[in-house]
């Protein structure tokens, strides 16, 4: 699991999640590549928005970081 800034992760997931940018930010390269390969289907965008909503409810530490 990697520690990332919660706000940056959510913003990336909402706006660029269809291309897997939020996964690359979280250092999950293989999943990011899968999002990128299938970006033309629209499915990664749906998954990214759902992931962003779930991430909203994860508690952050004092620095605003979460584990993903």
Tokens of 44: 């990664």
Q: Give the span between the Cα atoms of 29 and 45, in whole angstroms.
A: 17
Q: Give the span between the Cα atoms of 47 and 19, in whole angstroms.
A: 11
pLDDT at 1 over 90: no
What is the value of pTM for the model shown?
A: 0.94
In tens, the pLDDT along 17-57 reads: 999 999 999 999 999 999 999 999 999 999 999 999 999 99
């Amino acid at each position: 699991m990697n520690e990332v800034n919660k706000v940056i992760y959510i913003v990336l997931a909402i706006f660029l999640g269809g291309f897997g940018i939020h996964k690359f930010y979280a250092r999950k390269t293989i999943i990011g590549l899968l999002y990128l390969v299938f970006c033309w289907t629209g499915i990664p965008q749906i998954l990214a928005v759902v992931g962003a909503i779930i991430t909203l409810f994860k508690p952050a530490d004092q620095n605003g970081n979460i584990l993903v």
